[in-house]
């Protein structure tokens, strides 16, 4: 079993940049955290919003993928044409650890129907670390491009590299109704080099996503969501179909989720809006792999927590000076 795990870890380390899905962490509930994929989303909700996601993939494996993503965004007070935010993403797969920290800034073009078109960029840092403290797949056979402890006297050092990161995106967002966007991350497409022949290729990634809420009745809704991602070497398609039921200040949803030729599962969640305009969200998803790993991998669990605070509506006085009725 240890040999199997180390070989899987080696594959996911993706030193050649071929394995797409594991360079950027994947989330089943992607529609609730669009900012980590598209900086054009910043400010388009017209509210102060934040979300945190935790994902434990393939829970039966030691060293299996574990991802945490936190995002925050808002329109700039007094300058609503600008949206700003913050992304922090941590991803660990066996000996491979990645940290992203990016600041998105977007121009927001607002429409009379309540929608916003955001065009944005994000800039920040990426830190990649691949530890040599792991069991190499074939002891005694040395690969100078891979960190590892090959014997008591022969060790390839860790890769530990900090560099810059850039992305861009465009998104049309009609809150609680529809969204569609395209984006790209890791635009520099850098090769992060360590000592000797050790290096990591951070491939440029492309995303297209969209979703729409059909209001079947006053209380029932249907929400399909789709995202396609590619690094031009490989691609992946995520889709889900949520059915919702809501009253004035709360809503619950549930439905199936599918990752093409990779996994199938389900999502449940809900939101509650207080009298002061604070919306709280909670979601959970369960995935089960449908590949040949299904015998070993175990389930994948993901939790989402989020909030949005709508801006306070301004009161206007008949005198034309709103100071009197603030």
Written as six digits, the tokens of 78 are 């007094």
Distances (CA, A) of 73 to 30, 137, 191: 16, 43, 30
Share of the chain above pLDDT 90, in %: 63
pLDDT digits (tens, 9 = 90+) for 83-113: 999 999 999 988 889 999 999 999 999 999 9
The residue among 232, 228, 282 whose CA lies nearest residue 258 is 228
pLDDT digits (tens, 9 = 90+) for 163-218: 999 999 999 999 999 999 999 999 999 998 877 677 888 999 999 999 999 999 99
Domain boundaries, the chain: 2-309
Contact 171, 44 (CB under 8 A): yes
183-222 burial, b at 16+ Cβ within 10 Å, e below that, comes to: bbbbeeebebebeeebbbebbbbebbbbbebeeeeeeebe
In this structure, the number of other CB atoms found within 10 A of the CB of residue 80 comes to: 15
Q: How far is the C-alpha of 215 from the C-alpha of 291, rounded, in Å? A: 35
pLDDT digits (tens, 9 = 90+) for 25-54: 999 999 999 999 999 999 999 999 999 999
Architecture (CATH level 2) of domain 2-309? Beta Barrel (2.40)
Q: How far is the C-alpha of 124 from the C-alpha of 308, rounded, in Å? A: 24
Which residues have a Cβ under 8 Å from the Cβ of 245 and sit 6 or more positions away?
A: 219, 220, 221, 251, 252, 253
User: What's the whole-model pTM score?
Assistant: 0.85
């Amino acid at each position: 079993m240890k040999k199997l795990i180390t070989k899987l870890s080696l594959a996911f380390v993706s030193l050649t940049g071929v394995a797409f899905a594991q360079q950027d962490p994947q989330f089943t509930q992607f529609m609730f955290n669009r900012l980590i994929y598209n900086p054009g989303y910043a400010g388009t909700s017209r509210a102060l919003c934040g979300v945190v996601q935790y994902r434990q993939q393939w829970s039966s494996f030691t060293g299996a993928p574990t991802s945490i993503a936190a995002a925050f965004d808002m329109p700039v007070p007094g300058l609503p044409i600008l949206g700003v935010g913050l992304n922090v993403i941590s991803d660990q797969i066996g000996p491979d650890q990645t940290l992203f920290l990016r600041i998105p800034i977007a121009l927001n073009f607002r429409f009379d129907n309540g929608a916003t078109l955001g065009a944005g960029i994000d800039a920040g840092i990426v830190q990649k670390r691949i530890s040599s403290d792991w069991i190499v797949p074939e002891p005694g056979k040395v690969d100078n491009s891979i960190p590892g402890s090959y014997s008591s006297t022969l060790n390839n050092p860790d890769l530990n590299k900090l560099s810059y990161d850039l992305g861009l995106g465009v998104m049309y967002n009609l809150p609680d109704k529809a969204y569609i966007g395209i984006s790209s991350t890791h635009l520099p497409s850098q090769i992060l080099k360590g000592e000797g022949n050790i290096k990591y290729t951070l491939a440029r990634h492309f995303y297209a996503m969209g979703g729409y809420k059909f209001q079947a009745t006053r209380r029932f809704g249907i929400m399909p969501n789709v995202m396609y991602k590619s690094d031009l070497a490989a691609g992946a398609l995520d889709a889900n179909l949520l059915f919702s039921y809501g009253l004035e200040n709360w809503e619950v949803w549930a439905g199936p989720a599918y990752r093409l030729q990779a996994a199938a599962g389900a999502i449940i969640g809900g939101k509650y809006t207080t009298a002061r305009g604070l919306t709280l969200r909670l979601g959970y998803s369960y995935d089960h792999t449908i590949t040949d790993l299904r015998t070993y991998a175990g389930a994948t669990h993901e939790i989402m927590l989020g909030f949005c605070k709508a801006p306070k509506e301004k009161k206007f006085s008949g005198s034309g000076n709103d100071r009197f009725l603030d």
